Amino acid sequence: MMRPFVKSMARKRESSKASGPALDDGVHAALSSALFEGRLTPGAKLPEHRLASIFDVSRERIRKVLHRLVAERRLEAIPQRGVFVPNPSPEEMRTVYQAHRVFEAGVLTQLVQSLDDAILARIEAHLEEERAAAAREDRAASVRLSGLFHILLVDALDNPELSRFLRELLARSSLMVSAFEPARLSLCGVDEHAAIAAALRAGDRDRAIALSGEHFTHIEERLAQGIVERSEREIEEVLRPVSERPDGGGRTRRKAREPASAPAS
């Protein structure tokens, strides 16, 4: 017969197994949100012991989540140094957005030839989502939806290789936007997307390509401004619950054991 203590330990192990993925997802969601909202300073180191203290979990669990974020290309791992928030140089930004301009010009060229009412309806429904996010000033949703607009265009071509390439490119550029674009300027992309969609609807390929190129140039300009404006903040200040911040609203502390919903990426 199993003794009460052993039974208790068995129940704890089972509970740990059940809550493990939820704990991981909670920490992952919190770090992802901080990245997407531009709260973590580009180039900041994310030490395991400090994150473990912030989220009240083990270093092993933090290590697992950091590896996941590195694999998703949201963080950078430097051998013998640790894991860092990416800090792309202006030259890296230039090459990434040059790739965006060249790639989307080809996508739009093909898309004008195969547009139908179903594709146009999907684009318009997506623009409504973007407008709603902008209206409520939801930066995280706006960053996510901005990337999805370009994915929607390439996915309409039904070419898995093209879709895969854009997703890899967006994994880099979305993080640049999250890290550097000033929050007050991050909600204007929907108007530029709507203009591109209108040109497509009119069958005007050249105008759609010109508007797309201007759109990516404007993003680069906003990123350059954000680099100048960014400020240094400690990760504890960025990641700790709102109730513990100087301007907190008195809400009850919620640790990673009560995982928040993960932002889409």
Residues 54 and 112 in one domain: no
Do 107 and 30 fall into the same domain?
no
DSSP letter for each residue of 185-205 = GTT-HHHHHHHHHHHHHTT-H
- My answer on whether 111 and 181 are in the same domain is yes
The pLDDT assigned to 171 comes to 77
Distance (Å, whole) CA 65 – CA 29 = 10
Shared-domain flag, residues 130 and 242: no
Helix (H, G, I), strand (E, B) or coil at 72: coil
pLDDT, averaged in runs of 10, over the chain (265 residues): 39 46 88 76 90 94 94 88 89 94 97 94 96 86 88 96 92 78 69 96 97 94 76 70 45 40 38
Regarding whether 253 and 147 lie in a shared domain, the answer is: no
In a domain, 9, yes or no: no
- Beta strands (DSSP E) in the chain are 76-78, 82-84
Domains of the chain: total = 2
98 and 223 housed in the same domain: yes
| pLDDT the model gives residue 141 | 82
Residue 150, number of CB atoms within 10 A of its CB: 23
Tell me 264's DSSP state: P
Residue 67 lies in a domain: yes
pLDDT at 100: 97
CATH of the domain at 62: 1.10.10.10
CATH of the domain at 163: 1.20.120.530
Judge whether 15 lies within some domain.
Answer: no
Question: Structural domain of residue 54, as residue ranges?
Answer: 20-40+45-84+233-265
Same domain as 175, residue 64? no
**Same domain, residue pair 259 and 197:** no
Same domain, residue pair 131 and 262: no
